[in-house]
């Protein structure tokens, strides 16, 4: 069984796709009328958000699988996907903020999507904090699995409540009233593909790191025992 990530396929693909994507963003995609060039943040902001969501979904599934059969590989997958998800969500929040400032003249707005991202960040960052607080592998895995599952179950509720919340303030900004013309759509799809490939490569790398650390840990404790 291939425990470790031995293929350079995904990193290689990412190394090709990402420059192409960036090139398309800056040279191929058209200039948007109302927002100007700042709109181009969108081409990575959206893929980052979707990939982060995918990451958290994988975390939830891994949590369920771990609770079912207690195999280390599922804990590895959970740890990797939560960590990557938090990194990506951080970038979603930063890019969202930087996009908002020139457009709406504010760094933050309680837009349902940004709000959901923020709460997601807190939920899964707290999961990371939980993991760092427990040393025993089994306990750490079980507890973080439970938190990842409830955390993800919370997501649709968060999104719905964020939509209800904002209706106090009817002067809310409608962010994406951008009609996507073909060249924009193509650019977006290329960026999405690049981001996905990058995620897979990163995810496999992180899982293999986790497994290596666990194995070395096993060796060390065995060594000190005998």
Partner 1 sequence: MKDTYLVLAYMAIWIGLSGYVVALAQRQRKLSAKIEVLHKRLRVKED
Partner 2 sequence: MKSLRQIRFLCGKDLRIELRKKESLVSMAFFGVLILVMLNIANGVGKQIDAEAGAGILWVAILFSSVLGLGRVFAREKENGCVAALLISPVSSGEIFVAKALVNFSLMLLAELVLVPIFFVLFGARLSGDPLALLPILVLVNFGFSTTGTLVSAISAGTRRNEVLLPILLFPLLLPLMTLAVKATALALAAKPLADLRGQLEPMAAFCVVFAAAGYLLFPFVLRED
Binding pattern for the stretch 12-51 against partner 2, x by CB under 8 A and - elsewhere: ----------------------------------------
Task: Tell me if 201 contacts partner 2 by CB under 8 A.
Answer: no
Nearer to partner 1, 45 or 77 (CB): 45
Decide if residue 169 touches partner 2 (CB under 8 A).
no
Q: Does 129 bind partner 2 (CB under 8 A)?
A: yes
3-state helix, strand, coil in the chain (%, to 5): 80, 0, 20
Sign for the CA dihedral angle at 94, 126, 119, 117 comes to positive
* Residues composing the chain: 226
Binding footprint of partner 1 on the chain (CB under 8 A): 22, 36-38, 40-41, 44-45, 48, 84, 87, 90-91, 94-95, 98-99, 101-102, 198, 202, 205-206, 209, 212-213, 216, 219-220, 223
- Kindly tell me which residue out of 2, 31, 69, 164 binds partner 2, with binding defined by CB under 8 A: 164
Could you tell me the two tokens for 89?
Answer: 């969500």
Beta bridge partners of 37: none
- Identify which of residues 179 and 223 has a Cβ nearer to partner 1 in the complex: 223
Of the pair 130, 209, the CB lying nearest partner 2 is at 130
Q: Which is nearer to partner 2, 101 or 139 (CB)?
A: 139
- Which two structure tokens, joined as six digits, stand for 169? 């303030």
Nearby residues of 108 by Cβ (< 8 Å), 6 or more positions away: 97, 100, 114
CA–CA distance, 129 with 143 (Å, rounded to integer): 12
Give CA–CA dist 4/210, Å, rounded.
Answer: 10
Rounded CA separation 4/141 (Å): 20
**Side-chain-side CA neighbours of residue 55 (13 Å):** 33
> Which of residues 149, 184, 191, 194 is near partner 2 by CB under 8 A?
149
> Looking only at residues 59 through 78 of this chain, which bind partner 2 when binding is defined by CB under 8 A?
67
* Residue ranges binding partner 2 (CB under 8 A): 67, 119, 122-123, 126-127, 129-130, 133-134, 138-139, 142-143, 145-147, 149-151, 153-154, 157-158, 160-162, 164-165, 168
């Amino acid at each position: 069984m291939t425990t470790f990530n031995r293929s350079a396929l995904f990193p290689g693909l990412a190394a090709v796709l990402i420059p192409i994507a960036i090139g398309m963003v800056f040279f191929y995609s058209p200039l948007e009328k109302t927002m100007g060039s700042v709109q181009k943040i969108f081409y990575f902001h959206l893929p980052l958000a979707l990939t982060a969501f995918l990451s958290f979904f994988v975390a939830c599934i891994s949590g369920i699988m771990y609770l079912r059969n207690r195999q280390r590989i599922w804990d590895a997958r959970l740890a990797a996907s939560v960590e990557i998800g938090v990194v990506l969500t951080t970038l979603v929040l930063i890019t969202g903020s930087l996009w908002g400032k020139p457009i709406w003249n504010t760094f933050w707005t309680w837009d349902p999507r940004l709000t959901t991202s923020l709460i997601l960040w807190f939920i899964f960052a707290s999961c990371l904090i939980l993991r760092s607080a427990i040393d025993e592998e089994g306990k750490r895995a079980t507890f973080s699995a439970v938190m990842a599952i409830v955390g993800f179950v919370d997501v649709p509720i968060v999104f719905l409540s964020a939509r209800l919340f904002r209706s106090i303030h009817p002067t809310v900004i409608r962010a994406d009233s951008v009609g996507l013309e073909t060249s924009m759509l193509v650019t977006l799809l290329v960026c999405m593909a690049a981001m996905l490939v990058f995620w897979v490569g990163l995810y496999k790398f992180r899982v293999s790191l986790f497994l290596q650390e666990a194995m070395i840990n096993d060796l060390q404790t065995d060594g000190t025992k005998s």
